Structure 1
Amino acid sequence: MKKVIIPLALCLITAACGGDENDGKTEPEMKISSCYVVSSSSGQSENFSSPVGMYITSEAGQPYEGSGVWSASYNSGAWAMDKPVYVTKAGKVYAYYPYSSNDSPPVLPLDMTRQTDVLYSRVASPIAPGSVSLSVKLYHALSKLVVSVKGEEVTGLSLSSPVKCRFNICTGEFTDLQSGQVTSTDGRLFVVPHVTVGKEMIITLKSGKQYTYSVDGTEFRAGESYTYEFQLNEDRDKLEILDISVEDWINDNNYNDYLRR
């Protein structure tokens, strides 16, 4: 009987090739099909391209893998995760904006002096090995104040309100509120939802003159826009209210612009 001798090198190559078949991940990857900011009860804005945070947990509420934090960005006509999410078990996805690589969800610190909008998904999106494609809807967590003065340019708006706090992206709850002066350099102001007590808006015009208007007892709700229209009296020393309206926060061009940075 003849002996068959197989070179050792060939054995090693064969073993290496066979091992490659199990190196890759076989679990499905999570995909983002779309991401929208809901602008009214029945409408939604167009896609935007800023990074969106993704906090992913197990069904029990524990981080999915590691810290449980990913981000998604809109590039070349499609949404892409910063690193793959292999869906090995059922879980929940909480989306939020703005995103930072230093985030430690679910509770994030907020500084209202930065006047950055805050968005969150309000309701978690479920994932499972057989359901990995998500359409993310984001909602406004803050309230927006809009002030105009007939025939004048508003160059500043200020209100004593929560200036620092912590925001839970899973529950939408604001905690550890610290009061201070929140200021903008135009007629729009983002504020943490709250009920005002003995507070006044300070309105600055291009001339440098400042005027006040009481908002005592006003309840500013999340996702709502409060519009105040004024005119100066004949002596130009007081503001006269023309109209006050409250409506769902609808995105305008400036809002879309800063989401696209």
Structure 2
Amino acid sequence: MADAAAVSAPPAPDAMEGVVATEINGANGAEAEDAAAAPQPVATETLYIQNLNEKIKIPVLKASLRGLFKSYGEVLDVVAHGNLRMRGQAFVSFPSAEIAAKALKEVRGFPLYGKPMQISFARTPSDAVVRRINPNDIDAHKERRMDHKKRTRYINPLKMKFKAKRMAAEMDAAAAVPVSRRPHIQMPDEYLPPNKILFLQNLPESVTKDQLLALFSQYPNLYEVRLIPTKKDIAFVEYMDEGSATVAKDALHNYKLDGENKIKITFARK
């Protein structure tokens, strides 16, 4: 496994500027005019980095980024996560936009762990920047960030893409379940490893999404409920984390939603 010590220094500033100049001069006249007319991005204190090597463990990746950028000034924070939505991305924050702009100019395209980094300015300030510049506003800043996250949860293009793929896979899995009047023998719960998605079976065919939302929202961190149009007796319930899903599963397994049939709840297969 590669580690932070294996990261070499980025190309010299002059070399990086030469690469950029070559790319601009190589464009045709129309492209050059468009580039000149396009609004320039506003420099901020935080850089948004994409195309990072997803095979590198998060602690090693963060240490490598910190070591790479510290030569340009103090690095306030490095944020990177291993979840599906944020994989291959990171944020690096500096005390000023000037430092961030210099780092972007000189490091953009540097092949960190074999993949050239794509760098741009972040659209919003990071927690570390707000804490440094205006510490009295940090609580309000976090509240605004969480509100924005909730409002855009269902319209984020990347999330919608992953959701569409996941729902297609679930539809395929549901379609593959053979229709039989004989009782279906379920895999015992202990053979299904815990995760944040619950698989509901033996639901009344008249069940609605609102009914399931009302039932499962009694337990914190509910993310969404997904019904399967072609199989009305099954559904998927997703929580924000594995622990919350486990609490809901333990509480509602064998619950009689219609007063008769018991709901079978297991962890979903990955």
TM-score by length of 1: 0.27
Query: Which one scores higher on RCO, CA 8 angstroms, separation ≥ 6?
Result: 1
Q: Say which one has the larger Rg.
A: 1
| Bigger proportion of residues as helix | 2
Structure in which a larger fraction of residues adopt strand: 1
